[in-house]
């Protein structure tokens, strides 16, 4: 996440904005944002007014829970842009007439490449050997797990970080958003991860998790 206009305006680590950006839903983002404003309203009134107007009113779609299963960055778009520059325009500034012709030629070439199987769209998450290894090591850890069932869904609650134990009280705090200051939000909102998956294994692609790894890379 990058807020170019925040540098120099707010004398606190940008990690605070990262915590807001990691909000898993609109309800959480709204409550956390209000707690953030409340915490700094008197100390940094000018900045808070700017932040409220620019990043909570005009542009408020920058938190992870805004839309699931979508890229968190434009890295893929930038990578495509680089291919166009390296293989087609050769980084030259072209007249509009020439660029139009080149654009049609590029689209035709790419379309034929996909049609002939030379290029492929990836519609599923690739699981690397490193990720499998980390998953296996995690499965052997001694973390306690709580679970509940509701209809066709099962929810698993897991302690975050290095913690190994979890209680129903901590789960209740997470589910009901029982934090009453931004400092409490920093700790309690990220102390329990919730994985939701259907009982029918054939539709496990519908799995959801509120951890940063899933929200950013769809890793559970």
Per-residue burial over 89-121, b if 16 or more Cβ lie within 10 Å, else e, is eeeeeeeeeeeeeeeeeeeeebeeeeeeeeeee
**What's the pTM?**
0.77
Per-residue pLDDT tens digits for 36-95: 999 999 888 888 999 999 999 999 989 998 887 777 777 878 888 888 899 888 888 899
Per-residue pLDDT tens digits for 19-38: 999 999 999 999 999 999 99
Quote the CA–CA distance of 193 and 213 in Å, as a whole number.
Answer: 11
């Amino acid at each position: 996440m990058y807020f170019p206009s925040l540098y120099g305006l707010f004398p606190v680590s940008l990690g605070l904005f990262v915590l807001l950006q990691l909000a898993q839903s609109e309800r959480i983002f709204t409550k956390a944002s209000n707690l953030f404003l409340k915490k700094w309203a008197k100390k940094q009134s000018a900045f808070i007014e700017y932040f409220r107007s620019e990043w909570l009113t005009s542009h408020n779609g920058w938190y992870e829970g805004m839309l699931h299963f979508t890229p968190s960055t434009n890295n893929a778009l930038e990578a495509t842009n680089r291919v166009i520059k390296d293989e087609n325009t050769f980084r030259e500034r072209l007249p509009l007439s020439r660029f139009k012709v080149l654009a049609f030629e590029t689209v035709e070439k790419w379309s034929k490449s996909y049609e002939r199987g030379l290029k492929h769209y990836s519609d599923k998450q690739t699981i690397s050997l490193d990720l499998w290894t980390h998953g296996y090591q995690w499965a052997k850890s001694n973390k306690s797990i709580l679970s509940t069932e509701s209809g066709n869904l099962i929810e698993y609650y897991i302690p975050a970080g290095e913690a190994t134990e979890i209680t129903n009280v901590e789960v209740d705090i997470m589910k009901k958003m029982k934090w009453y200051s931004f400092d409490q939000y920093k700790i309690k909102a990220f102390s329990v991860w919730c994985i939701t998956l259907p009982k029918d294994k054939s539709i496990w692609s519908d799995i959801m998790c509120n951890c940063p790894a899933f929200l950013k890379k769809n890793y559970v």
